[in-house]
């Protein structure tokens, strides 16, 4: 099953300087279903230590992916990888990790997303939907673009970029299967409460 509420680590910006493992624990209690370890300055040992420390959360259902590092995903028996234009191809990742792995792809246009889906992506992340502080130079694509892209793709779409719990309903109506939030979850004053608010919004929209 493709997760509907995801959190990506992003250094201090995405955690308000908190310990990442403690933060992940709080987010998981609130209902975050998947995380992507996306720390460019982490060594393999650091990723391994983090994965080990959240092992109990994985046993309880949390999906843990790593950005780009196929070798670590397989060596640590993680749930998958998140790829992008500068990583190995989805086809290579799928062949390396097998049919059960989650292979996500971060796309910024429909053609790119469609190609990732054709190569075996489990889902695609489309961004930025709204303006975001992480990429202030990137123009937001908007809900109309998300709607058209979601209709054109044969795999689930996760919306990223300026995502908040208050925007979940309109994102779902535009065709998003789920959402990725970074600072709205990780930098929230109460991350567990923030995750619960996202889950309530997702549940409300699912029922409409």
pLDDT at 205: 66
- Residue 161's pLDDT is what? 95
> What CATH number is associated with residue 75?
3.20.20.70
Q: What does the pLDDT look like over 35-76, one tens digit per residue?
A: 999 998 899 999 999 999 999 999 999 999 999 999 999 999
pTM: 0.94
CA 57 vs CA 84, 164, 189, 194: distances in Å: 26, 24, 22, 18
Structurally, how many domains does the chain consist of?
A: 1
pLDDT at 208 over 50: no
Instruction: Please give the structure tokens belonging to residue 148.
Output: 């058209």
List the domain range (segments joined by +) for residue 197: 5-206
List pLDDT tens digits, range 130-163: 987 767 677 899 999 999 999 999 999 999 999 9
67 bridge partner residues = 82
Which of 92, 97, 34 has the alpha carbon at shortest distance from 60? 34
Measured distance CA(53)–CA(165) in Å, rounded: 28
Instruction: Identify the CA nearest to 168 among candidates 188, 196, 148, 198.
Output: 198
| pLDDT class of 12 with cuts at 50, 70, 90 | confident
Judge contact between 206 and 179, C-beta under 8 A.
no
Strand ranges (E), 9-156: 34-37, 63-67, 80-83, 102-107, 123-126
Q: What is the pLDDT of residue 193?
A: 98
Which residues does residue 83 pair with via DSSP β-bridges, in sequence order? 105
């Amino acid at each position: 099953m493709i997760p509907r509420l995801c959190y990506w680590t992003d250094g201090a910006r995405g955690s308000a300087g908190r310990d990442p493992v403690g933060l992940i624990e709080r987010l998981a209690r609130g209902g975050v279903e998947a995380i992507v370890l996306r720390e460019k300055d982490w060594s393999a040992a650091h990723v391994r230590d983090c994965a080990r420390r959240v092992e109990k959360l994985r046993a309880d259902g949390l999906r843990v992916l790593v950005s780009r590092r196929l070798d670590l995903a397989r060596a640590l028996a993680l749930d998958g990888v998140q790829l992008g234009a500068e990583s190995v191809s989805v086809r290579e990742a799928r062949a390396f990790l097998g049919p059960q792995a989650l292979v996500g792809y971060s796309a910024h246009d429909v053609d790119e997303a469609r190609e990732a889906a054709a190569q075996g992506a489990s889902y695609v992340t489309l961004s930025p939907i709204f303006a975001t502080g992480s990429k202030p130079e990137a123009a937001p694509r908007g809900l109309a673009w998300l709607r058209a892209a979601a209709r054109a793709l044969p795999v689930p779409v996760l919306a990223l970029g300026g995502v908040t719990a208050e925007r979940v309903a309109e994102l779902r109506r535009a065709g998003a299967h789920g959402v990725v939030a970074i600072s709205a979850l990780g930098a929230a004053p109460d991350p567990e409460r923030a995750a619960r608010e996202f889950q309530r919004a997702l549940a409300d929209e699912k029922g409409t």
